[in-house]
Structure 1
Amino acid sequence: MQRRDFLKTGLAASGAVGLSALGQAQADHHGGDQEYYELRHWHIPTAEKKAIVDRFLKNAVMPAAKRIELAPIGVFYSAEHPKNNKAEQHDIWVLTPFKNTQEFFSRDEKLVDDVFVEAADEYLDSQKTDPAYTRITSSFMRAFDGKPKLEIPIKGKRIFELREYQSHNELKALLKVQMFNEGEIDIFHATGLKSVFFGQTLIGPDIPNLTYMLVYEDQAMRGKNWQAFLKHPDWDRMKNMEIYKDTVSKIVARFFDPAPYSQI
């Protein structure tokens, strides 16, 4: 594929030319097989406020999502980990998968009914002078060709790692997605790194970027599998390919514990 065509297709699908082009790119180039993801991040100042948002998610959002058959939904807390940002210690993240863009656009209309509003009264009745949270940021992503559907590879005790790869321009971001699709995801599988999803960020902060989530039984499993990945001969070959040089300018990693009611 010529560089022009590569950029044209990728930028259309990434939302750089608008949501109408996004839908057309999905139909023409990706065949509509991939899921879409919203990752919503509540910025919360205190443990008391975290409890309010947590009750809202548990008692209002999750039951309403079940009524409209929207699942699985992941709810995550910042884990006790030295690499995590202390300013985010009370924050909550929610990951929601969608079969298509229409399901995303119609979600709120279907979700909010009288039962939802009643269950959310504590959260919705918060005052301007004493809000339940500081702000919400949200990212909307399209699943990779190489992993078109979310999966839950580990249940029981587990820790999640959310990794965001930022790029310094759109071409490099698209090439990093291509790198995953054309081999890096396969190396993950071969070395025991268990992924939940891979998403190209279409709308959200710090674009261009991609985001993916891994899950481990514990930190020992994480260390063992990442070491196997870094030593894998296929990774050594891919990382030294000229086409993939400088595709990532910054990596942001967060470690999560699942909420007790999380479906992921």
Structure 2
Amino acid sequence: MFGSATLTAKERQFYQIKIYHLKTKAQETLVDNYLEKTYLPALHHAGIKQAGVFKPVTADTAEIRIYVLIPFQSLEQFANLDKTLQADKSFQTNGKDYTDAAWNNIPYTRIESILLQAFPGMPVLEAPALKAPKNERVYELRSYESPSEKYHVNKVKMFNTGDEIGIFRNLNFNAVFYASVISGPRMPNLMYMTTFNNKEDRDEHWKAFSADPKWKTLSAMEEYSHNVSKSEILFLRPTDYSDL
């Protein structure tokens, strides 16, 4: 089974971020039940033991969103996931309110998908080592868009060769992943997720990052200038049933 494969040191995981766009609380309840009782257990059966489910800390007044983060050992495992799930008898029998929903009573508006590949500097997903209960935590998902493919490669180099990842690690940012988007709506871009016990903890960490001598030196290097044209920050919180 693909999910039980072991990565070598040089291999990097792939990640899918699925974003459920919803309109009503009834849809949210239905999708939550499906993810908790059907989808995540099926992922576990397929050998994917650490999938994350998150919601924005501040609710959007226009729509409801649920974010699902799934790690894969290979693109083949990603491509075969639907086939693997369809072969799971429990998956077939559970969650019929979701899977068999009528065309005029669907459980979501749309599902958005982003596919990423992990950076060499952190080739596999890591579960955060936090002490706070999940309902207090803050997970920060960042997206850095670059002006062109060349600048994107340069920003990725800054994280890896320039060791921006190392600065985050030394300051205990509890990163879950760093990755390049290989298919998504805002390319070229990279995304990464750092985690904190609460908002105050998050602010203290970023204050320390801004003051860090290594970051000041790295960010002042001419070779890494102008490699981010737009950044987006999203504050998320894990659901009670999230693995992460």
* 2:36 maps to amino acid: K
Once residues 127 and 89 of structure 2 are traced to their aligned partners in structure 1, the CA distance between those partners, rounded to angstroms, is 32
Once residues 25 and 218 of structure 2 are traced to their aligned partners in structure 1, the CA distance between those partners, rounded to angstroms, is 44
Contiguous gaps of at least 5 residues in structure 1: 1-29
Q: Which residue of 1 aligns with 2:172?
A: 192
Once residues 216 and 31 of structure 1 are traced to their aligned partners in structure 2, the CA distance between those partners, rounded to angstroms, is 27
Q: Which residue of 1 aligns with 2:25?
A: 47
Q: Which residue of 1 aligns with 2:5?
A: none
Structure 1 residue 254: Cα displacement: 1.0
Structure 1 residue 227: Cα displacement: 0.7
Asked whether 1:116 is paired with 2:91, we answer: yes
Once residues 104 and 79 of structure 2 are traced to their aligned partners in structure 1, the CA distance between those partners, rounded to angstroms, is 31
**TM, length-normalised to structure 1:** 0.83
- Taking only aligned residues, the RMSD between alpha carbons, in angstroms, comes to 1.7
CA change 1:172–1:241 in 2 (3 A) is same
Q: Which residue of 2 aligns with 1:179?
A: 158
Asked whether 1:94 is paired with 2:72, we answer: no
Identity %: 34
Once residues 39 and 71 of structure 1 are traced to their aligned partners in structure 2, the CA distance between those partners, rounded to angstroms, is 16
Deviation per CA, 1:57-109, whole angstroms, max 9, x where unpaired? 111111111222112010111113xxx75435x21111011111111112111
Q: Is the 8 A contact 1:34 1:148 kept in 2?
A: yes
**TM, length-normalised to structure 2:** 0.89
| Equivalent residues in 2 for 1:22-101, closer than 5 Å | 33-80=11-58, 85-88=60-63, 90-101=64-75
Structure 1 residue 120: Cα displacement: 2.2
Asked whether 1:143 is paired with 2:118, we answer: yes
Q: Is the 8 A contact 1:159 1:216 kept in 2?
A: yes
Contiguous gaps of at least 5 residues in structure 2: 1-7
Q: Secondary structure of 2:113's partner?
A: strand
Q: Which residue of 2 aligns with 1:106?
A: 80
Between Structure 1 and Structure 2, the one with more helix by share is: 1
Once residues 85 and 214 of structure 1 are traced to their aligned partners in structure 2, the CA distance between those partners, rounded to angstroms, is 21
Q: Secondary structure of 1:253's partner?
A: strand
Q: Is the 8 A contact 1:74 1:258 kept in 2?
A: yes
* 1:100 maps to amino acid: S
Q: Is the 8 A contact 2:138 2:202 kept in 1?
A: no
Number of aligned residue pairs: give it: 231
